[in-house]
Amino acid sequence: MSTFQAPKGTYDLLPPRSATFLAVREAISGPLRNSGYGYVETPGFENVELFSRGVGESTDIVSKEMYTLTTKGGDQLALRPEGTASVLRAALQGNLHKAGLLPVKLWYSGSYYRYERQQAGRYRHFSQVGAEAIGSEDPALDAELIILADQAYRTLGLRNFRVLLNSLGDKECRPVYREALQTFLRGLDLDAETVRRAEINPLRVLDDKREEVQKQLVGAPMLRDYLCDACKAYHEEVRALVTAAGVAFEDDEKLVRGLDYYTRTTFEFVHDGLGSQSAVGGGGRYDGLSEMIGGPSLPSVGWALGVDRTVLALEAEGVTLDIPAATSVFGVALGEEARRVLFGKVTELRRAGIAADFAFGGKGLKGAMKDANRSGARFAAVLGERDLAEGVVQLKDMQSGEQGPVALTDLVDVLRSRLA
């Protein structure tokens, strides 16, 4: 072991588990790539203000959890704690939002950073795959995203997840509700921290996990009763479209989410096998975010699914993904000249698109065959001095154990047809 360890709250992704992470990213992005979403990649850090304005000063993410730094040039930057503000910034900067091209549909995959208290499923460096549909107010887009996330999880084989759905209203009806809720909260017996939260961000109080708080919240005004007609109709349409697609959801009027930019539709995917960090993904509509960061009005909706927690959810359900072996053919050579020739054949196989590996390090037959086994390769190609003299290579089917000579010159063609 070296003197150094991965920093607190982080972990390394190592084989073989890392293959599952790749497969999860692939499975989540697959339905998006298939539905008109284009790939976007943004820097790992941004101007701090993008997040303080976008995600919100009063959120935990901005007030407590951002990794901020001042560059030698004096710029105030933050490691990105989430993807939505960055992706919208990039779309605006790249002028993707011209009329006629809306909605702009983008997907992304990357690392995010939050200085959180470490616990199972909660890390300081984690990974998300996300999607944003920018510049269109259409309930079918909200529905599309919920349906695609459900499809991704089902493709992976997850079953014990639930979809929670809510509407947070818009700039017409939410302030009226906020006021009513605040008045109610002021009459309660709450601790100083919660009283302060009630003043800055009263809706977050609804989300409080403590039972003594939840008890006092009985009888609190509910947003559902304050939604304006437009928000109500919009929400009903989202619900109808998701239902028609056969995706079950639960109405959760206390689902507020931890980012300030949400309007109308909000949703979360929760998994019941994960303990307290049960949200495997979440998202919603953010109709005002573009204007908050200095852009034009661009009503948008999106989600991000946590890759780390999705892997934990798979493990909790005992689902193992069917990940094909990375290597199809493993070359084992005995003797100097045979090594040279077989290494050349392995290169040829790779150039022909056949996944091949080689016994490095001058191991003897026994050790090299162990490597071949471990690689999961379907075939081992064994080349000894005598084979070489005869111009053949011994091809062993690692599943059946059958073995036989193949002319060296035919090796690529033979393997191509046997692997097909």
Please, which residue, 308 or 371, has the CB nearer to ligand HAM?
308
Using DSSP's 3-state secondary structure scheme, residue 13 falls into: coil
CB neighbour list of residue 159: distance below 8 Å, 6 or more residues apart? 317
Among 114, 235, 239, 271, binds ligand HAM (CB under 6 A): 114
x-marked contacts with ligand HAM along 63-102 as a string, rule CB under 6 A: -------------------xxx------------------
Please, which residue, 170 or 357, has the CB nearer to ligand HAM?
170
Question: The dihedral of CA 223, 279, 10, 324: what is its sign?
Answer: negative
Please, which residue, 259 or 372, has the CB nearer to ligand HAM?
259
Does 279 contact ligand HAM by CB under 6 A? yes
- In 367-407, at which residue ranges do the beta strands (DSSP E only) sit? 379-383, 392-397, 403-407
Among 37, 107, 108, 126, binds ligand HAM (CB under 6 A): 126
Position with the least CB separation from ligand HAM:
306
Least distance to ligand HAM from the beta carbon of 269, Å?
Answer: 7
Among 54, 103, 110, 130, binds ligand HAM (CB under 6 A): 130
Please, which residue, 177 or 286, has the CB nearer to ligand HAM?
286
CA distance 80 to 43: 8
Quote the tokens at residue 61.
């993410």
Quote the tokens at residue 148.
């695609």
Among 42, 59, 109, 128, binds ligand HAM (CB under 6 A): 128
x-marked contacts with ligand HAM along 305-324 as a string, rule CB under 6 A: -x-xx---------------
Helix (H) or strand (E) holding 76: strand 76-79
**Which positions from 379 through 418 interact with ligand HAM, judged by CB under 6 A?**
none
Question: The dihedral of CA 146, 285, 58, 76: what is its sign?
Answer: positive
The residue whose two tokens read 């997907």 is 107
CB neighbour list of residue 252: distance below 8 Å, 6 or more residues apart? 164, 165, 166, 268
Q: Answer whether 304's CB lies under 8 Å from 282's CB.
A: yes
CB neighbour list of residue 355: distance below 8 Å, 6 or more residues apart? 326, 327, 328, 329
CA distances to 275, 304, 349 from 408, in Å = 57, 50, 12
Least distance to ligand HAM from the beta carbon of 195, Å?
Answer: 25
x-marked contacts with ligand HAM along 280-309 as a string, rule CB under 6 A: xxxxx-x---------------xxx-x-xx
**What residues make contact with ligand HAM under the rule CB under 6 A?**
82-84, 114, 116, 122-123, 126, 128, 130, 132, 258-259, 279-284, 286, 302-304, 306, 308-309
